[in-house]
């Protein structure tokens, strides 16, 4: 009897060890399929771009090949034009994201904890959020000058509302039963805030910060397109005015690559900070 029990235990252990292996292989195989599909889609898009330029399906001024855009990128990278302007853009992006993100988290958590104050401020916040931010760019440029401050100000108006909304929604999503149970168990307000509210709100805050980082890039580039001394947006505006569309396409693709890298970096940071959460089955 003991031999049979030991055999069943060993069989159970073997099956439990084999299960993660099969799951790991399944995840790895799915990742390979997804990556392969992404590569094929990118190649198909490049092929369509090449055909469009060769057959001039668009206006000849717009019909530039991927090779021409690549040549510009190589030349701009060697001359330092690309990296210098990228540095100016990314400095403004990070400043706006950090400052507006921090203020948005604090403000959003406070609104989530103070529903009466939230009801009073909601009409004004909605009105401010509904304003087209790009229309504020000339105001910031006149007030702050053609420098990094104007770019940071415009991007901050985008990041603040996104992060504030995420933080407020995260705090408000706390289960009322948990709060009542914490009160019954004798938890203080500070303990409920640190042990219940903040852990519950953290995933929503990270999601808002990740989205805010992308919008910070959009805000900075939008400000540079209107008026700036430097930056990738200013390069796009300059080359558009001189009809160097291969350079415009190259910079836009470079900006898209930066956005993808920023999003991936935030995804990794989010997984690391939230590693205490149970994994999500997909």
pLDDT band at residue 276 under the 50/70/90 scheme: low
* pLDDT over threshold 70, residue 21: no
Residue 256 lies in a domain: yes
pLDDT at 68: 87
pLDDT at 209: 93
- The 3-class SS string of 120-172 reads HHHHHHHHHHHCCHHHHHHHHHHHHCCCHHHHHHHHHHHHHHHHHHHHHHHHH
In angstroms, the CA 254 to CA 75 distance is 14
* pLDDT over threshold 60, residue 6: no
- For residue 195, the enclosing domain spans 76-274
Residue with tokens 């330029």: 53
Average pLDDT, the chain: 82
User: How many separate domains does the chain show?
Assistant: 1
Count of residues in the chain? 282
Residue 218 lies in a domain: yes
Residue 6 lies in a domain: no
Residue 98 lies in a domain: yes
Residue 280 lies in a domain: no
Chain centre to alpha carbon of residue 117? 29
Chain centre to alpha carbon of residue 16? 37
pLDDT at 8: 46
pLDDT at 278: 60
**Distance of CA 192 to CAs 27, 114, 171, 185, 209, Å?**
38, 15, 12, 11, 23
Find the CATH number of the domain harbouring 116. Answer: 1.10.3720.10
Chain centre to alpha carbon of residue 35? 20
Instruction: Render pLDDT for 170-213 as a digit per residue (tens, 0 to 9).
Output: 888 877 777 677 777 777 767 777 777 788 888 889 999 999 99
Residue 157 lies in a domain: yes
pLDDT at 277: 67
Instruction: Render pLDDT for 123-174 as a digit per residue (tens, 0 to 9).
Output: 898 888 888 888 888 888 888 888 889 999 999 999 999 999 999 988 888 7
pLDDT at 23: 45
- The 3-class SS string of 244-274 reads CHHHHHHHHHHHHHHHHHHHHHHHHHHHHHC
Residue 67 lies in a domain: no
Least confident of 51-55, 70-74, 215-219, 253-257: 51-55
* pLDDT over threshold 70, residue 238: yes
pLDDT at 74: 93
3-state class (DSSP) for residue 175? coil
Give the percent of the chain with pLDDT over 70. 85
Residue 4 lies in a domain: no
* pLDDT over threshold 80, residue 97: yes
Residue 10 or 265, more confident: 265
């Amino acid at each position: 009897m003991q031999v049979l029990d030991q055999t069943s235990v060993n069989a159970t252990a073997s099956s439990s060890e084999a299960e993660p292996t099969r799951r790991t292989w399944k995840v790895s195989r799915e990742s390979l399929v997804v990556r392969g599909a992404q590569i094929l889609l990118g190649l198909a898009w490049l092929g369509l771009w090449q055909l469009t330029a060769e057959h001039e399906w668009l206006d000849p001024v717009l019909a530039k090949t991927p090779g021409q855009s690549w040549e510009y990128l190589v030349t701009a990278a060697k001359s330092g034009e690309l990296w210098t302007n990228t540095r100016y853009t990314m400095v403004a992006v990070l400043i706006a994201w950090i400052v507006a993100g921090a203020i948005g988290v604090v403000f959003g958590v406070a609104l989530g904890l103070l529903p009466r104050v939230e009801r009073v401020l909601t009409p004004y916040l909605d009105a401010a959020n509904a304003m087209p931010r790009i229309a504020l760019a000339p105001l910031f440029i006149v007030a702050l000058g053609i420098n990094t401050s104007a770019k940071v100000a415009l991007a901050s108006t985008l990041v603040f509302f996104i992060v504030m909304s995420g933080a407020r929604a995260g705090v408000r999503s706390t289960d009322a039963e948990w709060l009542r149970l914490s009160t019954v168990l004798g938890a203080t307000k500070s303990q409920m805030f640190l042990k219940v509210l903040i852990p519950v709100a953290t995933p929503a805050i990270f999601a808002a910060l990740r989205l805010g980082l992308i919008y910070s890039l959009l805000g900075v580039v939008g400000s540079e397109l209107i008026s700036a001394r430097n930056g990738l947006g200013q390069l796009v505006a300059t080359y558009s005015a001189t009809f160097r569309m291969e350079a415009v396409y190259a910079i836009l693709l470079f900006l898209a690559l930066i956005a993808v890298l920023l999003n991936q970096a935030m995804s990794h940071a989010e997984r690391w900070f939230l590693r205490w959460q149970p994994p999500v089955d997909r």
